[in-house]
Chain A
Amino acid sequence: MTITPTELTGAPAAEPGAVERRKTPRTPGRIPLSIVLGVLMVYFLVPFWWLIVNSSKTASGLFGGDSALWFSDDINYIGNIVDLFTYSGGIYARWLGNSALYAIVGGVGATALAVLAGYGFAKYRFFGRRASFAILLGAVMVPTTALVIPTFVLFAQMGWTNTIWAVIFPTLLNPFGVYLMHVYARDAVPDELLDAARVDGAGEFRTFFQVALPMLRPAIVTVLLLSVVASWNNYFLPLVMLSDNRLFPVTVGIGLWQSTASTYGAAGGQTLWSIIILGSLVSVIPLIIAFLTLQKYWRGGLSIGSLK
């Protein structure tokens, strides 16, 4: 399931710091609720645990009938890491690099376009604004994958398929990002401030870069993070667009390994399975780190689009 980076609705802006502010005095049923939460957390973490445990196993440990949720006797992380990064001429590192390239170029590009357009919609009363904004809102509802095959056929006519641009260009389109930036710019950047800058003789672009842009920071980080995640996690688009496996992002690459391993069956594909498992683990680490370190930004940004 591919959902376009979505976000944010909710209620009037809650500051990230406000989260812990409202201490409800004496919560009844605190312990039962904690237990429920604990059980749910186990459910959400089990797949990660499985991945961490099983990427330590050798092929024989994996198929040897040991417990699937606990380490086997020899911990083989190092061996598996070496296998992972040397398999098929070290193609995995290349896939990681491709994923990073598509996610960063596509994500930054999409965010830049969204910031400009969102600000334009929010702060200028230009001709055709209402009509184009209505079209934009309609576009939020167009399923992204419905565009993939038509875009492929279009790119094929122009000979653009199987290039990095075939993956990056479609990523630049993020109508929901524009919508979010519009809402945030409208509410968070006061017109009076912009007018004051203009009266002081700042041009429109200078006003935008020096006055508005700093105020838009939480929304920018949120839209950027969402775009980067959507593009890092994308599977359908690169699967359709690319045929050269040196251009694959890591999602399509692991999908390829998985189908190879499945075709050979458990017997032939044994070594491949252990690198698929470790490869999956390695591929999720960058985004988890990004989310944990940027927490305070995206949590602040999550209240954009508030209740009116």
Chain B
Amino acid sequence: MTASTASPMTKKGHRRSTTARQNLFGWLFVGPFGIIFLALLVLPIGFALYLSLFQKSLIGGTRFVLFGNYAKAFTDPSFLDGVWFVISFSLVLIPLQMAVSLAIALILDILITRFARFSRLMIFMPYAIPTVIGALMWGFLYSDNFGPLAELFGIFGAQAPDFLSRSLIFWGLLNIVTWQWAGYYMIILYAALQGIDPTLYEAARIDGASQWQIVLRIKIPLLTPALLLILVFALIGTLQFFNEPKILQQLAAGAIPDDFTPNMYAYQQAFSLANQNYGAAISFALGAVVFVCVYIFLFATRKRGSFLS
């Protein structure tokens, strides 16, 4: 509490006490989160940075190598291939996911029937499923033993594609991630569409605009901030890809190595190989890559009404 409340206040004194009050209560409200933030974000990042500057070897013990681990990571084919994989995966996944969720949201915005309302919920449902279970379900559907693919393709006398094989695993994973997240992104886009002032459509219709023109010229441009938000979150999520490949690894014999994605590689280094210094360096390098990519992206698009502006 401010001490000066009892004293006769001049205008200046009042302002000062208000500032003190604002400071005190502002920090009281923000403080608890601030402590967690320092303890669980700043401290681990600092610690990872510190760890990543050392190297442990069997004979020499732990020694300081400055950026030696980073130099190693950025020339390590396992790490680089993993980074390349997640980047190429994002380049295919994100446009696909956005197209699917946008298409559904637009359909739902036009169709106002009980059926549409019901399907909106059903399409959203995979979001409530743990990624582990989602990957497992699709793993079953892909598998020879339990899946319907062999059966379905058998009807046409064709050989079922094996999405768990080395050559098709990319598409197998792509399908899983799209299935899992498209509904969630659809809901975000749908909420944004619902917020558009309907008189805009009326005006356009009076001017003779067709349904298509309304979609292309009004709806999609007004959805840009929501689309950017989705893009950023999809990017952050995909670059740290771990759960789905980790789960499918068991079902897809040999198609997914331990260094498939950077995160899996960091996990392998830190736990299977007990090389925490290198694991920390990979985590930190991955985090930095993601952070920089996203920041550049947001900076480049800030004029278009990005959500953080």
Contacts and interface: CB of A to CB of B under 8 A. Distances in A.
A7 B305 contact: no
Nearest to B116: A37
Contacts of A175: 37, 41
A283 B111 contact: no
A153 B280 CA distance: 9
A8 B188 contact: yes
Given A47-B141, A146-B284, A153-B276, A3 B187 contact: no
A9 B127 CA distance: 17
A150 B47 contact: yes
Given A43-B179, A141-B294, A143-B290, A69 B148 contact: yes
Contacts of A229: 127-128
Contacts of B124: 291
Contacts of B284: 146, 150
A163 interface: no
Given A9-B188, A10-B191, A150-B51, A119 B29 contact: yes
B123 interface: yes
Contacts of B116: 34, 37
B199 to A, nearest CB: 10
A284 interface: yes
Contacts of A127: 23, 26
Contact of A1 (B51, B180, B191): B180
Given A141-B295, A280-B137, A232 B51 contact: no
A13 to B, nearest CB: 7
Contact of B141 (A46, A132, A178): A46
A124 B18 CA distance: 10
B225 A24 contact: no
A6 B232 CA distance: 10
A236 interface: yes
B203 to A, nearest CB: 14
A303 interface: yes
B128 A7 contact: no
B83 interface: no
A236 B243 contact: yes
A257 to B, nearest CB: 10
A76 interface: no
Given A141-B294, A151-B40, A258-B250, A146 B141 contact: no
Residue of A2, A10, A170 contacting most chain B CB atoms (<10 Å): A10
A184 interface: no
Interface in B242-286: 242-244, 246-247, 250-251, 263, 266-267, 270-271, 276, 279-280, 283-284, 286
A60 B180 CA distance: 30
Interface string A95-136: 000000000000000000110110111001111010010001
B128 A142 contact: no
A147 B198 contact: no
A141 B239 CA distance: 12
11 contacts: A2-B240, A9-B307, A23-B112, A34-B115, A113-B36, A117-B34, A138-B295, A143-B239, A149-B267, A263-B250, A284-B129
Interface of A: 1-4, 6-14, 18-20, 22-24, 27-30, 33-34, 36-38, 40-41, 43-48, 50-51, 54, 62-63, 67-69, 113-114, 116-117, 119-121, 124-127, 129, 132, 136-154, 169-170, 172-173, 175, 178, 203-204, 208, 229, 232-233, 235-236, 240, 250-252, 254-255, 258-259, 262-263, 266, 273, 276-277, 280, 283-284, 287-288, 290-292, 295, 299, 302-303, 305-308
Given A178-B33, A232-B130, 20 more contacts: A9-B307, A10-B188, A29-B211, A33-B111, A37-B108, A37-B116, A47-B141, A48-B125, A68-B147, A68-B148, A121-B30, A126-B23, A136-B37, A169-B39, A204-B28, A251-B132, A255-B132, A280-B137, A292-B121, A295-B121
